[in-house]
């Protein structure tokens, strides 16, 4: 049993910053995340994209922001249970919450802070038989590090911004040796300027554009060696490639959190904006996972919500102690 002051479910940017704010109040945190690494959407979906609306940073790569948040939290020695999903929540006789993961790891604390973001997110997969056999063997649903594709032949599928942006990036930066973009329709859903850039690159012979077609099969001996494309007019043909990257978006789902007796609205947890508490006393929800009137799903809003929620959590843990706000410029950072 892992015992702590605050169990944080979700190690995205909001959960990570909550460690720091809890630390200033001398409260220790343990985080649970179903992903193998901290950082939530920033690490999983767009680590190499610059963010422009983090106060004090005119531009920062999402992955760098996560590194900085980890460094900022380090003095408060957070614990992590990574690669495990929080499955159930119960109360013990002492009135503490027990959070159990899908692998049976148990955590005990008087406070639970849910920072679960979009929940457990699953990629939308194309309906290809045996696709699972090639996952991480040439099929990826998210581009985490473009360098992984250096000198490789890539087939990207999709009609939205992700498919367009990555096709452009891997081509213009001369990373992939060959990029083919396959899309079911003749028109794209993405930004007009991205669509135009893809068209231009296709005209210059730098991107192979295959529209009104879809990838219906994958083949290879132990890893992807080619895909089968079905074209509306030209029929089926095989295209040799090292990677097949279907970018059809992610399906957000609250997952197990939806069954914990919390008030849910629009796939998010309803909170009181006084302190971001839920309908269950002692459980708070911060960041993308919560909803209230005027909610903005932005990192900086999640930082604020966590800070306020922790003041309330402190009062619940120490009803007899008065917390006086102290500036970090005055007190510095006193780690554990």
Binding site for ligand FAD (CB under 6 A): 9-15, 32-35, 40-42, 45-46, 51, 53, 85-86, 115-120, 255-257, 287-289, 297-300, 302
- The least CB distance from residue 104 to ligand FAD, in Å, is 14
What tokens were used for 231?
């074209």
**8 vs 213, which CB is nearer to ligand FAD?**
8
- Cβ atoms 115, 12 nearer than 8 A: yes
- The least CB distance from residue 300 to ligand FAD, in Å, is 6
- The least CB distance from residue 232 to ligand FAD, in Å, is 30
- The least CB distance from residue 118 to ligand FAD, in Å, is 5
Alpha-carbon distance of 161 to 201, in angstroms, equals 16
Task: Kindly give, in sequence order, each residue whose CB lies less than 8 Å from that of residue 288, ignoring residues fewer than 6 positions away.
Answer: 12, 14, 41, 117, 118, 268, 297, 302
**258 vs 333, which CB is nearer to ligand FAD?**
258
Alpha-carbon distance of 230 to 213, in angstroms, equals 5
- The least CB distance from residue 102 to ligand FAD, in Å, is 8
- Cβ atoms 291, 269 nearer than 8 A: yes
Closest residue to ligand FAD using C-beta atoms: 117
Burial class (CB in 10 A: 0-12, 13-18, 19+), 125: middle
**13 vs 220, which CB is nearer to ligand FAD?**
13
**123 vs 255, which CB is nearer to ligand FAD?**
255
**121 vs 188, which CB is nearer to ligand FAD?**
121
- The least CB distance from residue 159 to ligand FAD, in Å, is 16
Closest CA to 163 of 211, 230, 227, 225: 211
**9 vs 170, which CB is nearer to ligand FAD?**
9
* DSSP class per residue in 170-183: HHHTT-SSEEEEEE
**116 vs 138, which CB is nearer to ligand FAD?**
116
- Cβ atoms 287, 304 nearer than 8 A: no
**231 vs 297, which CB is nearer to ligand FAD?**
297
Residue 47 zone, left/alpha/beta (φ > 0; ψ -120 to 50; rest):
alpha
**242 vs 288, which CB is nearer to ligand FAD?**
288
Burial class (CB in 10 A: 0-12, 13-18, 19+), 127: exposed
- The least CB distance from residue 101 to ligand FAD, in Å, is 7
Residue with structure tokens 């990629």? 123
What tokens were used for 285?
């929800």
Q: What are the percentages of helix, strand and coil residues in the chain, rounded to 5? A: 30, 30, 40
Alpha-carbon distance of 113 to 313, in angstroms, equals 9
- The least CB distance from residue 13 to ligand FAD, in Å, is 5
Q: How far is CA 192 from CA 97, 182, 187, in A?
A: 50, 18, 10
- The least CB distance from residue 153 to ligand FAD, in Å, is 25
């Amino acid at each position: 049993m892992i015992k702590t002051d605050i169990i944080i479910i979700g190690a995205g940017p909001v959960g990570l910053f909550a460690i720091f704010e809890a630390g200033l109040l001398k409260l220790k945190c343990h985080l649970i995340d179903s992903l193998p690494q901290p950082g939530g959407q920033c690490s999983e979906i767009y680590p190499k994209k610059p963010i422009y609306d983090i106060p004090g940073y005119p531009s920062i790569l999402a992955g760098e922001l996560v590194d900085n948040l980890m460094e900022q939290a380090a003095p408060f020695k957070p614990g992590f249970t990574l690669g495990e999903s929080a499955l159930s929540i119960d109360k013990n006789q002492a009135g503490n919450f027990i959070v159990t993961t899908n692998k049976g790891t148990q955590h005990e604390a008087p406070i639970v802070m849910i920072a679960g973001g979009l929940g457990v997110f699953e990629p939308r997969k194309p309906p290809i038989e045996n696709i699972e056999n090639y996952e991480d063997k040439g099929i990826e649903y998210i581009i985490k590090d473009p360098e992984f594709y250096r000198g490789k032949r890539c087939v990207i599928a999709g009609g939205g911004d992700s498919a367009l942006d990555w096709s452009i990036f891997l081509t213009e930066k001369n990373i992939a040796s060959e990029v083919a973009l396959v899309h079911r329709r003749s028109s794209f859903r993405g930004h007009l300027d991205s669509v135009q850039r893809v068209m231009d690159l296709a005209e210059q012979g730098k991107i192979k554009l295959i529209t009104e077609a879809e990838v219906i099969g994958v083949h290879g001996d132990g890893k992807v060696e080619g895909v089968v494309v079905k074209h509306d007019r030209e029929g089926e043909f095989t295209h040799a490639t090292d990677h097949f990257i279907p970018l059809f978006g992610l399906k957000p789902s609250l997952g197990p959190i939806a069954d914990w007796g919390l008030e849910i609205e629009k796939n998010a947890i309803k909170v009181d904006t006084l302190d971001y508490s839920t309908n269950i006393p002692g459980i708070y929800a911060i960041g993308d996972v919560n909803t209230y009137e005027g909610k903005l799903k932005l990192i900086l809003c999640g930082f604020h919500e966590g800070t306020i929620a922790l003041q309330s959590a402190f009062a619940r843990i120490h009803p007899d102690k008065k917390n006086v706000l102290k500036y970090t410029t005055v007190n510095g950072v006193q780690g554990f």
